[in-house]
Amino acid sequence: MRMSESADKVVTAIVVNYNAGGWLQKSVAALIDSSVCMAVYVVDNHSTDGSIDALRAGIGSGRLTIIENAENRGFAAANNQILKTESSDYFVLVNPDCVMQSDSVEKVINAMERDDDIGLASCTIRDTAGQVQKTCRRRFPTPWSGFVRSVGLARLFPRSAAFQDFDFGGASAAVGVQFVDAVSGAFMVAKGEAIGNVGALDEGYFLHCEDLDWCMRFWTSGYKVAFVPDVEVIHAKGASSGSRRWKVNWHMHRGMIRFYHKFYRDRYPRPLMWLVYAGIGVRFLVKSVCLLPRVLNTGAVHNP
């Protein structure tokens, strides 16, 4: 491990795969080639696209361990198979369609080593066209910001602090480590010691919102969540979920209801929470109708 701040640290990477195609091999190869020597675990949620066979044939590193589940256990549960059983100074959670630079993990860990209060961190995440993905740094959703998002007030009044969305948007962040409410589950680095206090991912989320939940629990446990803008990774968003958009849409909105109920049910009046749940339900139905043409016209996701 060639690291200026933490040469003696044990680092473990976890990739949860579900039909990510050729992106899986790219993601794992980048982890193997990282400037940080990591044990890499691929937990496969019963893929049927041959991506695991291709990974075995393409990468023969002794640092790679592949675990094949007999069913799709979901993102949180699959990550927890490693988080709950392995001991490590740092855990790197990486989507199978996320490719990092050789020093991405090194730079993020170095930033975390300089502040003992940082428990979880991520970085700038770009799509394959080079655009910053707006979800790579976020504010926690609230009933007000959810309303602002639903009716489009953030787009109408982009400079108003009163009408902020819970995403920061696609603009590049300022230089230097920043502390944000939440980061994206596509690429997260967590301190093992902090996980021991915060707990692993909440398996009540099948897909989506488990990262928001984890970030909230890190903050409420006394840790900071950091965003390191000068580190970048590429995320081909949707490589695993493009052919099952309805299910993803369902789990996304179901996860948001779980998040609101878990953290806000005792903070806001019950009638307001009912309105929030109803709004999420309406948004789910509208999004489902909008997805119908795409579902009918696309039978499978394209993988490189």
**For residue range 82-131, what is the model confidence (pLDDT) as tens digits?**
999 999 999 999 999 999 999 999 999 999 999 999 999 999 999 999 99
Give the model confidence (pLDDT) of 51-78 as tens digits: 999 999 999 888 999 999 999 999 999 9
In sequence order, the β-bridge partners of residue 11 are 90
- Whether the pLDDT of residue 248 is over 90: the answer is no
> Percentage of residues in the chain with pLDDT exceeding 90?
68
Report, as an integer, the average pLDDT of 184-204. Answer: 97
- Residue-wise pLDDT tens digits, 124-135: 999 999 999 988
| Mean pLDDT, all residues of the chain | 88
